[in-house]
Amino acid sequence: MSEKIITLSHVSAGYGRGGKDKTEYVLKDFSLDIYEGRCLCILGSNGSGKTTLLRTIAGILPSKGSISVCGHDMKTLNRKQIASYIAFLSQMSQVYFSYSVYETVMQGRYAAGQSGFMADRGQDREIVEETLKSLGLENIRNRQITELSGGQLQRVFLARAMAQRSPILLLDEPMNHLDLKVQAEFMEYLGAFGNGEIFFRDGKSYKPTIVGVFHDITLAADIADDVAVLKGGELLFSGPKSEVLTKDSLLQAYDFDVAAHILERNKKSISFFL
């Protein structure tokens, strides 16, 4: 078994509702181990706490309990230190500034704590150029991101996250609203990241680790090594996907027969091509 790279122990987190100490907790006494070099997919129905979990791991939401990242207590790390370990690709926003593709990806170097805002050092340029090439963006490097399609834009945001060169990549439904071809390409890029370079921090080496929230269970099954299933802010199941993605566990998580639904849907879809 791989080494633990993230550990949450008795964590509660949520959102403020009107003042100090009036947090409405979404995650409740939540504990989970995430292992280095693996892809963990987080599943659960709407409101189960999936996005809250990612934001808590990223240090965006305050929390009670203990979170360890690469052996460090999250509470002892500042934002740039967190970014050196964790890159976060959230659901695609409709609000962003009209930078060029190159400038947007370069922002990942600032998030990594390597440069001032929009700085352009030699080492950073090399990393950005590599990232643009690996995601097939070099031909549109000078275009404004406001001119891009949804698929291109999400690829640029993935490139920005990858340019941080952080060993942990958090993804919040990254393929929402993308067409099938773009989804397939996106999966290839994630696979390349997961099988890519070893990262070095504090004299230690880390294999790339992916933690993602996925709405589509079949998509999650394709990419996952491990699966965590949430319900009502609590962890129902976690472990290798072969052990967790069962008819009974999905029935308990979603309160209906997900496995039968997927089989029937796939059967109907396949019939169109026979």
Determine the pLDDT at residue 113: 60
pLDDT at 46 over 80: yes
Q: Taking residues 144-170, what's their average pLDDT?
A: 92
Cβ proximity of 171 and 89 under 8 Å: yes
Q: Please tell me the distance from the alpha carbon of residue 126 to that of residue 44, in angstroms, as a whole number.
A: 39
Distances (CA, A) of 63 to 32, 57, 85, 121, 160: 14, 10, 19, 36, 27
Overall residue count recorded for the chain in this entry: 274
pLDDT at 116 over 60: no
Determine the pLDDT at residue 30: 96
Q: Taking residues 116-126, what's their average pLDDT?
A: 70
Determine the pLDDT at residue 200: 86
Q: What is the mean pLDDT of the chain?
A: 88
User: Domain 4-238+247-271 is of which CATH architecture?
Assistant: 3-Layer(aba) Sandwich (3.40)
Tell me the HSE value of 198 on the side-chain side, using a 13 A CA sphere: 5
Boundaries of every domain in the chain: 4-238+247-271
Q: Taking residues 231-239, what's their average pLDDT?
A: 95
In percent, how much of the chain has pLDDT > 70?
A: 91
By C-alpha distance, which of 58, 59, 5, 14 is closest to 32? 5
- Pick the more confident residue, 169 or 258: 169
Span 207-217, pLDDT tens digits: 999 999 988 89
Q: Please tell me the distance from the alpha carbon of residue 145 to that of residue 148, in angstroms, as a whole number.
A: 5
Instruction: Give the Cα-Cα-Cα angle 188, 208, 84 (nearest 5 degrees).
Output: 120
Q: Please tell me the distance from the alpha carbon of residue 192 to that of residue 136, in angstroms, as a whole number.
A: 13
Read off the pTM: 0.91
By C-alpha distance, which of 57, 55, 62 is closest to 23? 62
Determine the pLDDT at residue 20: 59
Q: Do the bridges between strand 168-172 and strand 86-89 make them parallel or antiparallel, or are there none, so unpaired? A: parallel
pLDDT at 220 over 60: yes
